A and B are shown apart, each in its own frame.
Chain A
Amino acid sequence: MDRATVLEQLKEVAVDVLGVDPGIVSETSSFKDDLDADSLDLVEVVMALEERFSISVPEDKLDGITTVGEAVDLVLGIADPAADGAPAAGGSADPAADGAPASDGETAAAGEPAESADRA
């Protein structure tokens, strides 16, 4: 997994969870100041990344995350600790995940807003 892939996935998540234009999401973007994301949004963003990369991010790792670049670092550090390109395995991998990136933000509380009450 490379940095560009993680950033692309993060942009997609930001569009889905935060409703922002993907063009404004860069490594230097501040979640709070540039993307209008609060702490609850950050949890949702990270949950979506967890699904996409089949990883598990410990709660305490979120504390220092303020920029998109830091979130990319966090994902890379967990998904690819040895930087060998192989999928993560063992303690940090999410045992419940099937290994395939989720096709959409299933972690969002209720799906697309226009149909936010819909049930699958």
Chain B
Amino acid sequence: MTREAQMTAERARVAVVGMGVKTPAGSDLDTFWTTLLEGRSCAANIRRFDPSDLPVQFACEVVDFDPLAYLDYKEAKRSDRVAQLGFAAAADALADAGDLAVDPARCGVVAGTGVGGLMTQEAQEQVLFTKGASRVSPMLVPMMMANATAALIGMKLGWTGPNFCVATACAAGSHGVGEGARLIREGSADVVLAGGSEAAVTPIAIAAFARMGALSTRHDAPELASRPFDVGRDGFVIGEGAAFLVLERWDRAVARGARIYGEVAGYGRNADAYHITAPSPGGVGAAECMRLALADAGIEPSAVAHVNAHGTSTELNDAAEAEALLKVFGDDGPPVTSTKGATGHLIGAAGATEAVASFLAMGAGLVPPTANFERTEAELVVDVVHGAPRPLAAGPVVSNSFGFGGHNASLVLAPRT
């Protein structure tokens, strides 16, 4: 046995024992899963502020969220929405995990985000420009910094183990789950809250993404705008939300009789090293990332039962990802879905949200349809589940996330065995 194989054999397995979501598709697991099965898009005209001056006026917002259900007045006031959503999802996941009875020093937090507290930053920039520097809030830095969500979770729970954020744009949620799993594998923690959050449905973010040509401009029918892999796709729909998973060392979870959703069995991450926003030609970076994840899990591509794609509904991502899937799985690959048809693109929360969707799919034995998908380009060889849920054979799921900057992350998520 090679040294690498030996390490693989001896490393701790990582169980998923709790999950929580605050998403446009639902703020509890049941609602979230029901929306995904319906294949219903949550895109709608923006409600939280007047978007009439913006080039894109729709998004996927979390509309039923009350931070005071999770935080006291002052905690909520001192937290940006990104941290409020993140903590709430983490708290739900923790409640879902049962009695962990664990030393807080052995508990870690890894929280992904694209931009951190953008709403606070924008509001305080307005204060700076209109009222001057002496009126800028002393809470600006602690509320806008990208690591604020991880810090809030740690403080609220009293968890003193490893605690950090990952900021890899649209891949941050999957990196959060993957890096969290590694903390358990390497023995740095016994329990990790891993996931991501984002609250960037703001005027500046929409203006900026629109200037890149990244957003759908389907104003006449926002509910049809997010259509991953569909030939008529014209960009992503920006969304907000959070998802966290409670990861626990496998033997510990089994010993305490935990309800185990499944396992983080493999994790791959690499970089395109090609372009700051465009995927590498032919999806070579994404393909290699999936291969790394499969090798890490010790499984062949043929063992994969389903792929939860990054599937953003942009022309470039979906074409490159389809090519990458073809490279890895051949022309008879596993059924593919994109959760973003329903949720929109939750940026740094997307990967964690889709990891939750993957475990729910394995639990139900169903692949949710990709909202709004009708048909793809003739040259794209990808079996996109659409129209209705499809039965899912028992087996591992690959969940992909690819971020601006060329950051790729793929997870192999496996049912309990």
List A residues at the B interface (Cβ < 8 Å): 17-19, 36, 40, 43-44, 47, 50-51, 56, 94, 96, 106-110, 112-114, 116-119
Q: Is the CB of A113 within 8 A of B139?
A: no
The secondary structure that dominates the B interface is helix
Q: A18-B74, A117-B81, A119-B123 are in contact. Are A109 and B139 (CB under 8 A)?
A: yes
Q: How far is the CA of A72 from the CA of B140 in the complex (A)?
A: 26
Q: Contacts A96-B132, A113-B67 known; A119 to B48 CB distance under 8 Å? A: yes
Do the beta carbons of A47 and B199 come within 8 Å of each other? no
Q: What are the 6 closest A-B residue pairs judged by CB atoms, nearest first?
A: A113-B76, A117-B81, A19-B73, A109-B137, A109-B139, A43-B138
A40/B81 contact (C-beta < 8 A), A110-B119, A113-B76, A114-B67 known:
no
Instruction: Please report whether the interface of chain A is mostly helix, strand, loop or mixed according to DSSP.
Output: loop
Cβ B137 vs Cβ A44 within 8 A: yes
B258 interface residue per 8 A CB criterion: no
State the Cβ distance, A44 to closest chain B Cβ, in Å: 6
Interface size counted on chain B using CB atoms at 8 A? 35
B142 at interface, CB cutoff 8 A: yes
Output the least CB separation between B133 and chain A (Å): 10
Contacts of A109 in B (CB 8 A): 77-78, 120, 123-124, 137, 139-140, 143
Per the bound structure, the CA–CA distance linking A106 and B79 in Å amounts to 16
- A18-B74, A19-B72 known; 9 new pairs, CB 8 Å cut-off, are A19-B73, A44-B139, A113-B68, A114-B68, A114-B76, A117-B84, A117-B119, A119-B202, A119-B203
Contact indicator B139/A96 (Cβ below 8 Å): no
A119/B71 in contact, CB under 8 A? no
Chain A residue with minimal CB distance to B85?
Answer: A117
B320-361 CB contacts (< 8 Å) to partner A? none
How far, in angstroms, from A106 to B126 measured CA to CA in the complex?
Answer: 12
Give Cα distance in the complex from A43 to B138, angstroms. 7
Which of B77, B81, B123, B143 has its CB near the most chain A CB atoms (within 10 A)? B77
Contact: B73 with A113, CB < 8 Å?
Answer: yes
Min C-beta distance of B131 to chain A, whole Å: 6
Set A19, A51, A108: member contacting B137, Cβ < 8 A: A108
Interface pair B68/A107, CB less than 8 Å apart = no
Query: Given A43-B138, A119-B48, do A108 and B132 touch, yes or no (CB 8 Å)?
Result: no
Report the bound CA distance from A44 to B122 in whole Å: 18
| Residues on B facing A (Cβ under 8 Å) | 48-49, 66-68, 71-74, 76-81, 84, 119-120, 122-124, 127, 131-132, 134-135, 137-140, 142-143, 199, 202-203
The residue in chain B whose Cβ has the minimal distance to the Cβ of A95 is B132
B138 A40 Cβ-Cβ under 8 A = yes
From A44, A51, A116, B67 is in contact (CB under 8 Å) with A116
Give A17 to B203 CA distance when docked, in angstroms: 26
Residues of A with C-beta under 8 A to B202: 119
Residues in A with CB closer than 8 Å to B68 are: 113-114
Find the residue from B73, B79, B120, B138 having the highest chain A CB count within 10 A. B138
Q: How far is the CB of B148 from chain A (nearest CB, A)?
A: 12
Are A56 and B134 touching (Cβ within 8 A)? yes
A60 to B40, CA, bound (A): 57
Which residue of the partner chain, among A110, A113, A118, contacts B71 with CB atoms under 8 Å?
A: A113
Residues of A within 8 A of B78 (CB): 109
Are the C-beta atoms of A44 and B48 separated by less than 8 Å?
no
The residue of chain B having its C-beta at the shortest distance from the C-beta of A96 within the complex is: B132
Contact of B77 among A36, A56, A96, A116 (CB under 8 A): A116
Asked if B135 contacts A107 (CB within 8 A), the reply is yes
The residue from A17, A47, A94, A116 contacting B81, defined by CB atoms under 8 A apart: A116
CB-CB under 8 A for A117 and B199, given A40-B138, A109-B120, A109-B124:
yes
CB neighbours (8 Å) of B74 from chain A are 18-19, 36
Separation of A19 and B79 alpha carbons in the complex (Å) = 14
A19 touches B77 (CB 8 A): yes
- Closest B residue to A118 by beta carbon equals B48
Report if A107-B137 is in contact (Cβ < 8 Å); known contacts: A114-B67, A117-B199: yes
Distance between Cα atoms of A76 and B124 in the complex (Å):
28
Q: Give the chain A neighbours of B142 by CB distance below 8 A.
A: 40
